[in-house]
Amino acid sequence: MKALTWHGKRDVRVEEVPDPAIKEPTDAIVKLTTTAICGSDLHLYEVLGPFIGEGDILGHEPMGIVEEVGAEVTHIKPGDRVVIPFNISCGHCHMCGMKLFAQCETTQVRDQGMGAALFGYTKLYGEVPGAQAEYLRVPQAQFGPVKVPHGPPDERFVYLSDVLPTSWQAVRYADVPDGGTVAVFGLGPIGQMSARIARHLGYRVIGIDGVQERLAMARRHGVEVLDASVTDDVPEAIRELTGGRGPDSVIDAVGMEAHGSPAAKLAQTVTGILPDAIAAPLMSTAGVDRLAALNQSMEAVRRGGTVSIVGVYGGMADPMPMLKMFDKGITLRMGQAHVKRWIDDLMPLVTDDSDPLAVMDLATHRLPLDQAPHGYEIFQKKQDGAVKVLLNP
């Protein structure tokens, strides 16, 4: 089959690789019809190379048609249309029983000290072959795959794999009070959907970004926007929009590659040119995240407010403004999305013909799998108006 494989910083290639096969009775094989490029994939493209093996298959936002199932998989069958959550969870361990599916004890990557395995996301998360491919082996398929109806276009459902549950959790973790205000830093795919979900739930939303196409998309869906490219002091500007107090909640949907963090940018550049054997332990013990967005989130949120961190961070010793956090009484919530925890909330919204979350207005590019390297490039460089790139194997 064809699959997108990693070969170095900004070097991804579509190659022929062996077809996946059933290995365990809880496996399934799915023929993928749509798979997406995620903002966190760009961290692999740009920063996290020391944790990736050459030839690893990337991708974790897929849907398709079931081809084959193992003997212990009974809730899906060949011919079913399914969405695959990006985290791999068993559904029956202690953590899954608490609906903390991203911490599944069956698939935890204990040798790395990490949570549940993820598709296509480095040795830290199990080095499981990813979903930017024609076919996908799905472990723990007795629980993971989500059946969706035949008929509507893939764009109705593919975001259930990651974008929608991640955004829904980000808003829930933000703990916005009734009638309250939430600021969303970063209007990439997760920021866009977090803003739309917050609007859907009745909150005032202020979106912050410096990319004009992203600001325009947010405006289309009723979000107040702040252009960071022409605003000298973003937290102060947000306070001016909120009576001088600041928003009740802030969602950081940017993560480790925020602009305006020169020291951490240098650390990322240095680790990017070091041999993996040196770079990996350095990244595991150093502060390599670019924290501009997170620091601005702490600065902007009102006293006693909540910051919900949904952007991916990778450093182990990042400096945090502890005095400010303590003095302001800020609550932090964060973590990988517990995808299946939120499916029941989201399914009625994506099957509603009125499309209340406007899932049909998120993808800006739809490319064949062969053009995936081009998709990565324009997404990473924010070229050609790229906000969300879907791939069709």
CATH architecture of 164-334: 3-Layer(aba) Sandwich (3.40)
Give span(s): CATH 3.90.180.10, the chain.
Answer: 2-162+338-392
The whole-angstrom separation of Cα 339 and Cα 86 is: 8
Residues 8-20, mean pLDDT to the nearest whole number: 95
Which residues have a Cβ under 8 Å from the Cβ of 323 and sit 6 or more positions away? Answer: none
* CB contact set of 232 (below 8 Å; sequence gap of 6+): none
336: tokens are: 């990988």
Q: What is the pLDDT of residue 138?
A: 98
Asked if the model's pLDDT at residue 4 lies above 50, the reply is yes
**With 60 as the cut, is the pLDDT of residue 233 above it?**
yes
DSSP state of 142: T
Contacts of 127 (CB under 8 A, 6+ apart): 53, 56
Amino acid, single-letter form, for residue 142: Q
pLDDT higher than 60, residue 358: yes
> Does pLDDT of 355 surpass 90?
yes
Q: Which residue carries 């749509």 as its tokens? A: 34
Predicted pLDDT of residue 31: 98
Residue keyed to tokens 């790395």: 112
Q: Which helix (H) or strand (E) covers residue 62, if one does?
A: strand 62-69
Q: Interhelix angle for 234-241 vs 292-300, to 10°?
A: 30
Contacts with 222 (C-beta within 8 Å, 6 or more apart), sequence order:
199, 205
Write down the pLDDT at residue 46: 81
What secondary structure does DSSP assign to 359-385, as a single string?
TTSS--EEEEGGGHHHHHHHHHTT-TT
Q: 194 is written with which tokens?
A: 């977090």
How many angstroms separate the first and last alpha carbons of the chain?
10
Mean pLDDT of the chain: 91
If you count them, how many residues does the chain have? 393
For residue 79, is it left (φ>0), alpha (ψ between -120 and 50) or beta? left
Region 196-225: mean pLDDT is 97
Is 50 exceeded by the pLDDT of residue 267?
no
Q: Examine the pLDDT at 281 and tell me if it is beyond 60.
A: no
290 has a pLDDT exceeding 90: no
Alpha-carbon Rg for the chain, nearest whole angstrom, is: 20
Report pLDDT for 184. Answer: 98
2-162+338-392 CATH fold: Quinone Oxidoreductase; Chain A, domain 1 (3.90.180)
Predicted local confidence at residue 55, as pLDDT:
95
Q: Measuring CA to CA, which residue among 162, 156, 132 is closest to residue 39? A: 162
Q: Look at residue 122 and give its three-state secondary structure.
A: coil
Residue 51: band (very low, low, confident or very high) from pLDDT cuts 50, 70, 90: confident
Average pLDDT for 35-58: 87
Residue that is written with structure tokens 């985290």 in the block: 87
Give CA–CA dist 175/169, Å, rounded. Answer: 10
**pLDDT > 70? residue 278:** no
CB 209 within 8 A of CB 186: yes
Choose among 138, 63, 70: nearest CA to 350.
63
Rounded distance between C-alpha atoms, residue 20 and residue 136, angstroms = 6
- The number of beta carbons lying within 10 Å of the beta carbon of residue 197 is 24
Q: How confident is the model at residue 288 (pLDDT cuts 50, 70, 90)?
A: very low
Q: Residues near 203 by Cβ (< 8 Å), separated by ≥ 6?
A: 171, 176, 179, 180, 181, 182
